[in-house]
Chains A and B, each alone.
Chain A
Amino acid sequence: MATVASQIASEETALRERRRAAMAVLAASDAAEVARHLTAVGPLPAHEDIRAGESGMVMVRGRIGGDGAPFNLGEATVSRAAVRLATGETGIGYVLGRDRAHARLIAMCDALVQTDSHAGAVERHVLAPIRARLDAARRVDAERVAATKVEFFTLVRGEG
């Protein structure tokens, strides 16, 4: 019994990690590229919108340094949507900005990532290309910044 329970728990953890990793990529994506890559996955399974896309505001909290007191930094516009597949998986999408179609696409991806039938295809055709693009952009930024890096050092002054 204990091994069955721990196996279920580890499967849940793995699924949560997979969704989290997918969301980390999708949150930085843009709507057109998700839509384009999603067509490569093939025909989408039957689904219904349980929350049509809607836009709202969230309060962004900040803190200065790891031990600073939290404060309200300001409000950010966020869109969200939720989709449920006919097989029962519920996908939820949140994204910065007012693009409700984008939030819906992300919800669709989140739902598909939870299925055994489509998780691989979504990883190959949607997540991998976006992740590659983001990594490349990040590397270009890092290289551009590195080229302008100034090393400060202090010469030992001879005092007397």
Chain B
Amino acid sequence: MLTAGFADPVFAAQATFRAVLDAMARPGTIQRIDAALSAPPPLARGAAAIALTLADHDTPVWLGADLTAHPGLTAWLRFHCGCEIVAEPAQAAFAFTGGAGAVPDFAAFNVGTSDYPDRSTTLILQVEKLQADAGLVLTGPGIRERNRLQAEPLPADIVARLAANRALFPRGLDLLLATDAAVAALPRSIRVSEAA
């Protein structure tokens, strides 16, 4: 059954955009998303807010296997975002998925071209928990020395995947990690290592 989108579309979309912008600019920091909306299960509220803010009729959206099984979710995205739902991850501007095991190989997504690296897929991963000061060690643009970020659940080989993604620079995927009320980013520019 179709539910409402943002209670206050203009301000909620602006606040969510700002949160995503700050998360991207300072990789590893956790930004709050507190827009009021009723997200269709099993989409996390934060991920739903990102979808309402960024996706529209110009941005094909791909959904992970854990999300496509819910027709109500597809109808909700089509109604509120007007976006096309594509079956091939390589065609997607935004990809939403949860469940660490369900994330396809990053090479399956669109990593952009050398001429147009901006045309790559942005992957929004739903996670249960985000915590700073533990877990992965991040360095790179937007980080003074190093940031730490722990997110669960992530694919087991996330460090190797992000290293391969970094090697493609300026091509590559940008990752957003979304919980119900927060977002953190792992853009293509960062270097990631396991905790020492």
Contacts and interface: CB of A to CB of B under 8 A. Distances in A.
A45 interface: no
Given A51-B80, A52-B9, A88 B1 contact: yes
Chain A interface size, as a band, is 10 to 19
A17 interface: no
B3 to A, nearest CB: 6
Interface string A40-60: 000000001111101000000
11 contacts: A48-B4, A49-B4, A50-B2, A51-B4, A51-B5, A51-B79, A51-B80, A52-B9, A82-B79, A84-B2, A88-B1
Main secondary structure of the interface of A (DSSP, over half): strand
A79 interface: no
A150 B2 CA distance: 56
Interface string B175-194: 00000000000000000000
A50 B5 CA distance: 7
Interface in B1-41: 1-5, 9
Contact of A84 (B1, B5, B9, B80): B1
B3 A50 contact: yes
Interface string A79-95: 00010100010100000
Contacts of A82: 2, 79
A48 B9 CA distance: 15
